[in-house]
Amino acid sequence: MPTFRLPRLTLIFNMAFLGLLAVALGAHAPAMAQSKPAKTLKIVALGDSLTAGYQLANGEAYPDVLQKALAGRGIQAVVANAGVSGDTTTGGLARLDFSVPEGTDAVLLELGANDMMRGVDPESPRANLTKMILKLKERNIPVMLFGIPAWSNAGPDYAKKFNAIYPDLALVYQVPLYPFFLEGLIGNRDMMLADGIHPSAAGVREMVRLTLPHVEAFLRKLPAKP
């Protein structure tokens, strides 16, 4: 039976190809071995009872539900709940430094509702929120602002001054703004507690559903950190 032999040039080509393939695979092996998982973001939700989860069970507050929703969108994050029921912008400013530890990647800032409900001069929450934004910027911590408009019984003059705070600050300091944290909830009994002021567990889930696209867009634009 005749013996089949590859032509010499074909044999040399095949051997060269196999050598190049081995080199290529070897070059990619260390890169694959050294690949790292996506960084887990450290986020602080700094706010009042709307953030804290007033009268809700563990795991039902906005930061907890948001963290799970972000994971579902492929964003690994720990959202710390720095909400304090009854807190004003004055209180938020006073506790800013210890509420936002070193290593924080971003802050979701939701304060001002209690100032408004107490009839505090709008210049006070404006000044306090300004100081908080500037202090966080000095620390290179990006901020997303969550607003809340004045109640209808606050009076037109008060409402005009108060409602201008959030869009003004967002424009001046170039921070993203979600204008109304309770959007779609006020007046909906299924979404609110009996007091008509605080969201129920279902209300929080709706808040997360509505805010998630905005928060996700904010987080995906964060500057890379080592």
Q: What is the DSSP string of 100-137?
A: S-TT--EEEEE--HHHHHTT--THHHHHHHHHHHHHHH
Q: Strand 143-146 and strand 41-47: pairing?
A: unpaired
Please say if 99 is a catalytic residue. no
Single-letter code of the amino acid located at 33: A
Contact 181, 141 (CB under 8 A): no
Q: What is the span of the domain harbouring residue 122?
A: 41-220
Does residue 19 sit within a domain? no
Does residue 47 sit within a domain? yes
Give the burial class of 98: count Cβ atoms within 10 A of its Cβ; 0-12 exposed, 13-18 middle, 19 or more buried. exposed
Q: What is the pLDDT of residue 14?
A: 46
Residue with tokens 């009994």: 189
Please report, in tens digits, the pLDDT of each residue of the chain (226 residues total).
444 454 444 433 444 444 443 444 444 444 433 434 478 999 999 999 999 999 999 999 999 999 999 999 999 999 999 999 999 999 999 999 999 999 999 999 999 999 999 999 999 999 999 999 999 999 999 999 999 999 989 999 999 999 999 999 999 999 999 999 999 999 899 999 999 999 999 999 999 999 999 999 999 999 887 6
Q: How far is CA 205 from the centre of its chain?
A: 15
- Taking the whole predicted model, whether its pTM rises above 0.85 is answered as no
Does residue 64 sit within a domain? yes
Closest CA to 92 of 150, 140, 131: 131
Number of domains into which the chain is organized: 1
Does residue 10 sit within a domain? no
CATH code where residue 100 lies: 3.40.50.1110
Contacting residues for 210 by C-beta, under 8 A, at least 6 apart: 183, 184
Three-state SS for 175-190 is CCEECCCCCCCCCCCC
Does residue 36 sit within a domain? no
Q: What is the pLDDT of residue 167?
A: 98
Does residue 203 sit within a domain? yes
Tell me the C-alpha distance between 62 and 104, whole Å.
Answer: 18
Please say if 195 is a catalytic residue. yes
Does residue 99 sit within a domain? yes
Q: What is the pLDDT of residue 226?
A: 63
Does residue 12 sit within a domain? no
Q: What is the pLDDT of residue 36?
A: 42
Q: What is the pLDDT of residue 211?
A: 98
| Catalytic residue, candidates 87, 99, 105, 198 | 198
Contacting residues for 85 by C-beta, under 8 A, at least 6 apart: 48, 49, 52, 54
Please say if 214 is a catalytic residue. no
CA dihedral over 183, 184, 187, 193, signed as positive or negative? negative
| Catalytic residue, candidates 35, 157, 190, 195 | 195
State the CB neighbour count (10 A cutoff) for residue 126: 20
| Catalytic residue, candidates 49, 64, 115, 200 | 49
